Structures are given as structure tokens and as C-alpha cells.
Amino acid sequence: MSWLEPTAAGLGVLCLFFLIRQSMWAWPVGIAMTGLYAIIFFDVRLYSDFGLQLIFCVLQAYGWWFWLSHRDRAEANSQAPVIWLGFQKLLPWLAVGAVGALALGLVMDRFTDADLPYWDAMTTSFSLVAQFMLARKYLENWLVWIGVDVVAIGVYAYKGLMLTSGLYALFLLMCVWGFWQWRRDSAVEPEAAPAQ
């Protein structure tokens, strides 16, 4: 397993870099990263994170399709537009994340030997919300990811996955950069941005 974590971490940094740059290469790199992390998380009994990686594979494919299908077909190098949700439209996404975290935490606590079931469930549930928002190119995905990264740093450090904990510290910084970059690239303010 010694090569798995560094390889997955490297792919994670590369994937996030491509996402910040709004490059289609993010999606195949992300699929490879999630496959490796599924193996890692199963091995350390973070079952919510293991399941999350499997779902991420599907969401990576969805994001790839969505970005390809929503770009301007008249321009070969065009990108799907960044959408601002605004606070009112962000609240339901956060509610879904919270309810999902409680439900999954309860299941993991009662029916598995999972370590940190509620913290693990929180990162899992909000990661799903953030990943779907990312696939749809909602600007606020970066804010949700920042919250996930803060919790994940502690969870992975506690489990002894120091490289992964460090990776999530780097992800935290990159998410701040991603929010700034996407906000700068977006010409539409939240009030005028249609939700897709």
C-alpha cells in the first residue's frame, strides 16, 4: 500500500489544479484518484469515505459529460459558464448535506465498526454536495469544499494518514484559490445568474 497514498495524493493535486483551471483533464485524473482512494479508505475502515470514492467515480463521469455538453459549441476551446447560486439557493444544498451527514453517521455508528462515524459521514455527505455543485459549475462549491477540507484534515491526521491530511491542507488552500479564480472568471453576479 506504500505507493497508493502518494500516488493518489499526487493525482488529487493534479485534479484540483485542472479543476481550478476549468480543464477537462480534471475528470479522467479524478477518476484515477478516486479509484486509488477507495482502496486506501477501505483498508483503514473509513467506510463512508470508501463509498464516497465509488460515488465520486460516477460524479466524475457526470461532471465530464456536463462540462462537455454545456460549453459553447461554436467555440472549440469554450467552457461551460460558472454559475453563482447566491445565499438563498445555497441553503437547500447545505440542508441536504447536514441531513445526509446525520443519517449516514447514524447508520455507520449502529451497523459498522467504522471509526469516527459522524465526522466521516459529515465529510462524505458534504463532499457529495460539493462534488455535484462542482460538476454543475456552481461557484459556491468551493466554499463547501473549504468546510469539508477543514474537517478532513483532522479526521485523516487522527487515522494516521498524514500524507492525506497534508493533501487536504493543500486542498484547502487550493479551494480558496479556486473560489477566487472562478469568481474572477465569472461575469455574472448571483442575482442575475440562472440556476441550472
Joined grid coordinates for residue 78 = 469554450
pLDDT one digit per residue (tens) for the chain, 196 residues = 578 989 998 999 999 999 999 899 999 999 999 999 999 989 988 787 788 899 999 999 999 998 888 776 545 556 778 889 889 999 999 999 999 999 999 999 999 888 899 999 999 899 999 999 999 999 999 999 999 999 999 999 998 888 889 989 999 999 999 999 999 887 656 555 555 5
User: Residue 138 in 3-state DSSP?
Assistant: strand
- Compute CA 96 distance to the chain's CA centroid, rounded to the nearest angstrom: 15
Expressed as residue numbers, the domain containing 76 is 4-185
89 in a structural domain: yes
What pTM was estimated for this model as a whole? 0.82
54 in a structural domain: yes
Indicate the number of domains in the chain.
1
Q: In whole angstroms, what is the distance from residue 64 CA to residue 70 CA?
A: 10
Max Cα distance, the chain (Å): 53
105 in a structural domain: yes
190 in a structural domain: no
